[in-house]
Amino acid sequence: MNNQSYIRRKTAKQTRYDAADTAFIRSHEQHPNNGEERPFKNIDGKFTFIANFSKGLRHNKRGEVEFDSYKSLLKAIGSTNPDDFENIVLGGERKLVNPQAGIAYDLEGPDSGSLRIRPAPKMDSAETAGEMVEDYWMALARDVSFSEYQGNPIIDDAIAELSGLSDFRGPKIGGNVTADTIFRGNTKGDLRGPILSQFLLLGSNQPQYNINQNEGLLKYGTLLIDHKQTTVKPNIDYMTNEDDWLNIQNGLKVDDLQNADPTRRFIRNLRDLATYVHFDALYQAYLNAALYLLASQSPKDIGNPYNDSKTQEGFGAFGGPHILSLVTEVATRALKAVWFQKWFVHRRLRPEEFGGRVHFHKTSDAKYPIHSDILDSEALIQTEAKFSSYFLPQAFPEGGPTHPAYGAGHATVAGACVTILKAWFDESAIIENPVEPNNDGTQLVSHSGCDTLTVGDELDKLAANISLGRNAGGVHYRTDYTESIGLGESIAIGILEEQKLTFNENHSFSLIKFDGTGITI
């Protein structure tokens, strides 16, 4: 081996050591949960667990998990022995989704067990009640077009109730929820322009290919990706009676797409958004955003080394192929981190499970620790009037997936992927002439509320749309979004810190975090 090859070999090894040291010096957080995972004596005199995720396990007639079934899950979680996971006592055909992913190690970025999110709000808290009231209103408002929120009776009722709750933490103006803040994310960008991010609507603008960006077509090589989607018919909701709800809790398998709408549409309401996040490849919205930003030649971050080069352009490093792979590379690492939180820390019950607690609390002798803000809510009154039950109506036939609610996979991936895009592109760059879907989602029309939006704001909004779209389906809470995007952000920043060691170019990445603070890597 010649001297040059040996030096390269040693340097490559040292770079790996340096990246490992960068990861090692990060703090390894403690992981407190909310303390609610304890046996609860039900009205039959038997012990169960009522505040924790148990979908897919065995349940009694009120959907309370059988003690031995839940203990078999805890045994596997405690031992991490693969054989114990194979011996979890299930209630039906549906399998639990990949709990062991939460204890996988990774060779890049923060370790999945090193980061934390705050303990989930307790079952009897006003914050949880506020989140559930919002979920019920989202279910009731699924078929209201975004363009018709102003003055719509359902939206007006939701605004009035959410504004008056003890502890609702969605965005407000002057202390009140409004038609311009309802069901939106918590960053400043979420409150500018249409409720839907431009990255879920706009296409490439390339006349040579007869592509107009208002047609919503993205150029993907020689293919075109259409932002119009296959959605579902209106006014069809699931798991609103005791038999259907209980069968799903016990793991009944059902088709995950029913009642498809024959007309493809732009996302125009919460049902369409929920359908998008029901079937998306987890990173597809962010890959599409990257394709749009590249095709529109959106300015890159000031730290890109090839912005002002006279002799070079980026490609495998700091060019198109780099960002297109990097924006997807963070997804599985984000999933490992949030799967650790889901299975090995919090095990928070899904909103559909909470809705079962509400229903049986209201209709039987079962009494659970539930805050009056949800039990006495107008949202619950209107739900019962429409469905003759108090279950949280689900947009998906199978309800939520068979893994715990907190944190959220979609939201953590959103936080990671959007952070990469904000680090790569100039967040202050302007997206002119914003659009929104018309009432039936068949066309894009100009948005008259503002003339310009920024890349950074619309990326933050994209993360919120995808995350809260899952809430619109009935499968997540607002804190699943607010806490998880920060978790994903930390994963992405850690990966950028470690990758920085591998490049020859003088470079940096700068971005505005979800909490509004700026950083440079």
CATH number for the domain that contains residue 191: 1.10.606.10
The pLDDT, as a whole number, for residue 208 is: 64
For residue 419, which of 357, 339, 484, 375 has the smallest C-alpha distance?
484
The pLDDT, as a whole number, for residue 205 is: 75
Please spell the DSSP secondary structure of 342-404, one letter per residue: IIIII-BPPHHHHHHHHHHHHHSS------HHHHT-HHHHHHHHHHSS-S--BSSTT-S-SS-
The pLDDT, as a whole number, for residue 359 is: 98
The pLDDT, as a whole number, for residue 209 is: 62
The pLDDT, as a whole number, for residue 215 is: 81
Residue 355 falls within a domain, yes or no?
A: yes
**Rounded Cα gap, residues 207 and 137, in angstroms:** 43
Which residue(s) pair with 318 in the sheet? 315
Residue 170 falls within a domain, yes or no?
A: no
Sign of CA dihedral 487, 493, 498, 502: positive
The pLDDT, as a whole number, for residue 421 is: 98
Residue 357 falls within a domain, yes or no?
A: yes
Beta-carbon neighbour count of residue 44 at 10 Å?
Answer: 12
Residues making up the chain, counted from first to last: 521
Residue 138 falls within a domain, yes or no?
A: no
Residue 331 falls within a domain, yes or no?
A: yes
The pLDDT, as a whole number, for residue 449 is: 79
State the amino acid at position 460 in one-letter form.
Answer: D
Which residue(s) pair with 315 in the sheet? 318
Alpha helices in 59-152, H assignment, sequence order:
67-79, 82-86, 126-140
Which amino acids are annotated catalytic? 403, 410
The structure's pTM equals 0.97
Domain carrying residue 294: 3-133+185-369+393-520
Low-confidence ranges of the chain (pLDDT < 50): none
Q: What Cα–Cα distance (Å) separates residue 121 from each residue in 78, 182, 407?
A: 23, 21, 12
Beta-carbon neighbour count of residue 391 at 10 Å?
Answer: 29
Beta-carbon neighbour count of residue 84 at 10 Å?
Answer: 16
Residue 345 falls within a domain, yes or no?
A: yes
Q: What Cα–Cα distance (Å) separates residue 216 from each residue in 22, 27, 56, 267, 292?
A: 42, 44, 39, 11, 10
Taking only the tens place, the pLDDT of each residue in 8-47 is 999 999 999 998 999 899 888 899 999 999 999 999 999 9
Residue 495 falls within a domain, yes or no?
A: yes
Q: State the total domains in the chain.
A: 1
Residue 179 falls within a domain, yes or no?
A: no
